[in-house]
Chains A and B, each alone.
Chain A
Amino acid sequence: MRPITYVRATDTATAVTAVSSDPTSDFLAGGTTEVDLLRQNVMNPRRLVDINDLPLTGIVGTPEGGVRIGALARMSDVAAAPVVRERFPLIAQALELGASPQLRNMASMGGNLLQRVRCSYFRDAESPCNKREPGTGCSAVEGFSRGHAVLGTSEHCIATHPSDVAVALVALDARVHTLGPKGERSYAIDDFFLLPGDAPHREHPMEHGELITEIEVPATPIARHSLYLKVRDRASYEFALVSVAAALSVMDGVIADVRMALGGVATKPWRARRAEDFLIGAATQRNDFAMAARVEMADARPTAMNAFKVELAQRAVVRALDMLCDGNETGAAPGSGSGSPT
C-alpha cells in the first residue's frame, strides 16, 4: 500500500475542486472499495479527499411518488427507509442481499455505483488486465471466468458489473446527479454505465473530480409490486451469479407493464428490454416467461466456464416472474433470494 495524504472536505464545491484539480486525488466515501483496492495496489491515488462530512445523506420521498437518495446515504439506511421499502421493495431487497451488515453500514450509494469489478485478475494487481492497465490484454478470456459476464462483453474485457442495487436502479430508470468542475449534470442511469468495448478502463461518463450528489428514482407505481432475486454460490455475503430485479403489473391475466434488469451476467447492470417488450401484453404463464427469458439471453456469448449462466439466468427470470404472479415477492429476504431457481 503506497503512502497517501488525506484531507477532509467540509463542503461539496471544495471537494470537487480538490479532486478535479489533481489527477492523483480520489474521493473517499465508505472506503469499502477505495481502501481495499488501495491496499491491493490496484488503485494508486496519492491523496484521498474524505467526503463523509458532506451533507449528501438525505433519503426523501417526492410528492409524485419517487425518492431522492443522497450519494452519501449508506446502503443500510436506504434499505431501512420506510419510503424505499414501500415504494421500491426491489431497491431495499437488492441492498439487503448485498455485502454484509457491517459493509452496508459503511458503504455509500454513490460509492456503490462506482465499485470496481471483482475479477480476480483485476484485483491481483499484476496479471495482464485491460481495465487496470489498458493495452495489456485480458487474462480472463482464456483464464478463470466462472463469475464473468455473458452479455455486453468484448474481446477486451468480460468482467461482470458487481453492484446489486444498480440493477434495481436500472430497472427503474433512475437518474444520477453530479457536480463537476463544469457544474451540475445529470445522467440517465443506463447511460451512466459504459460497456467495455475497446476501452474497458472507462466505466462511466464522468470526468475526474465529478462528484455524484444524488440518485433520483422517478415515481414508478408498478414498483410497489417488485422484487430482487439473487442467485449465488452461498446463501449470503456473496456476489450474484445471476440476479433479477423485476416489477410487474397484471390486468385480467395479461401483463400490462413490466420492468426488468439482470445482474451478475453482464458487463453493466443489464436492462432486459427485449424481455420487457416480449412480456407486455403476454399472458402470465410460464411458457411466455421462458420465451421472454430466452429472447433476452439470445445474444449471450459465454466462455466454457460460465456457459451455465445462460440457462441459470433464464430460470431466474422465470422464477422472479412466477414469484411476482404468486404474490410472494415479499419473501425475498432473507434466505429466499438464494438457492437455485426451480
Chain B
Amino acid sequence: MSAPGPTVTQRGAVLAERGPGPVRVRLSVNGAEHTLDIEPRVSLLDALRERLDLTGAKKGCDQGTCGACTVWVDGRRALACLTLAISCEGREVTTVEGLAEEGELHEMQRAFIAEDAFQCGYCTPGQIMSAVALIEEGHAGDDAEIKEWMSGNICRCAAYPNIRAAIRAVRDHT
C-alpha cells in the first residue's frame, strides 16, 4: 500500500498521518509510561495483552458485546476491544492490574473472593473494573440498579448473584 502524502488543509495546517505500518505510540497505563511500535489498527485490548503483557483484560467477543475487556480510560469504564490504542495517547488507561495498591488487593477484588463471585473467572477482571466504576458513578443503589448498570458485563457462568453480593458488600462498607 502506498503511503499517501500529508494532508494539506484549508488553514494550511498539516495533519500528521501515521501508519499504516507500525508507528511509535506512547501509552500511559496504570500510571506508567510505555512506548510501543504498533500499527494504528491495533486495539487497546491487543496492545495491552500482546505488547504490554497485561493480560487481565480479556477478549471475549472483540465486538463490544460481552464486557470482558472493560478497562478505564481517563477514569471512565470503556471497552478496550473497540478502542484503538493510538487514540489513547494523552489519556490515562487503567486495567485490573492497576487496582491493587502496594501489594494489597483492592477492596472489590477482596469482596469478589469473599463472596465467591466467579467460577471460571474469565469475565472477572471486566466485572471488577465495572463494579468499582459502578460504585463511583453512584449506580449501586439497590439490586435492580446494580443489575441494570452491570448489564454490560456478561458472565457465562452466571455468577451474577454473587457478583451483586460483592458489590453490595463494598457499597455498604464505603
Contact = CB atoms under 8 A, between A and B. Distances in A.
Contacts of A312: none
A101 B82 contact: no
Nearest to B149: A101
Contact of A13 (B10, B65, B82, B147): B10
A5 B20 contact: yes
Contact of A17 (B10, B40, B151): B10
Interface string B11-40: 101011111110100000000000000011
B171 interface: no
Contacts of B40: 3-6, 48
Contacts of B145: 334
A254 interface: no
Given A14-B13, A21-B7, A334 B82 contact: no
A158 interface: no
A41 to B, nearest CB: 12
Interface stretch (B83-91, B106-114, B117-125): B83-91
Contacts of B18: 5-7
Contact of B148 (A35, A47, A50, A334): A334
Given A14-B10, A28-B87, A6 B17 contact: yes
Interface in A42-83: 46-50, 52, 76
A103 B79 contact: yes
A9 interface: yes
Which of A22, A52, A100, A102 has its CB near the most chain B CB atoms (within 10 A)? A102
A35 B43 contact: yes
Given A237-B151, A334-B144, A106 B83 contact: yes
Interface stretch (B47-55, B70-78, B97-105, B162-170): B70-78
Contact of B63 (A36, A236, A334, A335): A36
B7 A22 contact: yes
Contacts of A128: none
Contact of A31 (B17, B39, B83, B133): B83
Contact of A6 (B67, B70, B86): B86
B11 A13 contact: yes
Contact of A235 (B137, B151, B154): B151
Given A6-B86, A7-B17, A100 B152 contact: yes
Contact of A28 (B4, B65, B84): B84
Interface residues of B, number: 49
A333 interface: yes
B76 A31 contact: no
Interface in A23-40: 28, 30-32, 35-36, 38-40
B17 A5 contact: yes
A21 B7 CA distance: 9
A8 B42 CA distance: 16
Interface string B134-147: 10010100001101
Given A102-B130, A334-B147, A3 B10 contact: no
Contacts of B9: 13-14, 17-18
A189 B60 CA distance: 36
B163 to A, nearest CB: 14
A157 B17 CA distance: 37
Contacts of A237: 65, 151-152, 154
Contact of B15 (A1, A9, A40): A9
Given A1-B41, A5-B4, A11 B13 contact: yes
Contact of B78 (A36, A102, A333): A102
Contacts of B13: 10-11, 14
Nearest to A181: B10
A105 interface: yes
Contacts of A8: 15, 87
Nearest to B7: A18
Contact of A102 (B11, B23, B77, B139): B77
Contacts of A2: 41
A11 B11 contact: yes
A31 B87 contact: yes
A28 B87 CA distance: 9
Interface of B: 1, 3-4, 7, 9-11, 13, 15-21, 23, 39-41, 43, 62-65, 67, 70, 76-79, 82-84, 86-87, 130, 133-134, 137, 139, 144-145, 147-149, 151-154
6 contacts: A6-B40, A7-B18, A28-B84, A32-B82, A100-B152, A106-B82
